């Protein structure tokens, strides 16, 4: 799989017009932008997962509600908890790390 250069260029182009500023510190606005983008991605993922569960239930491949009622075994729960921890570490790394003093 290769990345389309046009998509990369488009993703780095400045927005048309002035950007709204919500905080006194522009860095906080950038953090806010990341948070909104991440939340949007999560919302889309949850919608797609819901759609997939519904399709599987409609097709008889997965009974409705089985995902909500499923309980992970200990090994799976540990693996999922570690994945959650790693995700949170990646997402919040920039906020948790202190900037080195100048």
Q: In 3D, which of 76, 49, 74, 79 has the Cα closest to residue 62?
A: 49
Backbone angles phi, psi at 20, to 5 degrees: -65, 145
pLDDT at residue 97 in the model? 64
Paired tokens of 100: 């080195």
User: Would you state the pLDDT for residue 43?
Assistant: 86
pLDDT (0 to 100) of residue 1: 44
Which is nearest to 45 in space by CA: 74, 94, 87? Answer: 87
Give the whole-angstrom CA distance, residue 30 versus residue 10: 18
pLDDT at 75: 94
Percent of the chain predicted with pLDDT > 90: 8
Its pTM surpasses 0.75: no
28 to 13, 24, 75, 93: CA distances (angstroms): 20, 8, 39, 15
Low-confidence ranges of the chain (pLDDT < 70): 1-15, 94-102
Q: Convert the pLDDT of each residue in 64-79 to its tens digit.
A: 788 888 898 999 999 9
Of the candidates 88, 91, 87, the one whose C-alpha atom is nearest the C-alpha of residue 35 is 91
């Amino acid at each position: 799989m290769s990345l389309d250069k046009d998509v990369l260029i488009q993703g780095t182009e400045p927005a048309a017009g002035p950007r709204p500023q919500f905080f006194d510190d522009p860095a906080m606005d950038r953090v806010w932008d990341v948070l909104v983008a991440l939340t949007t991605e999560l919302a889309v993922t949850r919608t797609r997962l819901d759609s997939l569960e519904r399709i599987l239930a409609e097709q008889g491949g997965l009974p409705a509600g089985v995902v909500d009622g499923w309980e992970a075994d200990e090994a799976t729960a540990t693996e999922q908890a570690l994945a959650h921890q790693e995700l949170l570490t990646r997402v919040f790394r920039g906020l948790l790390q202190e900037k080195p003093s100048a």
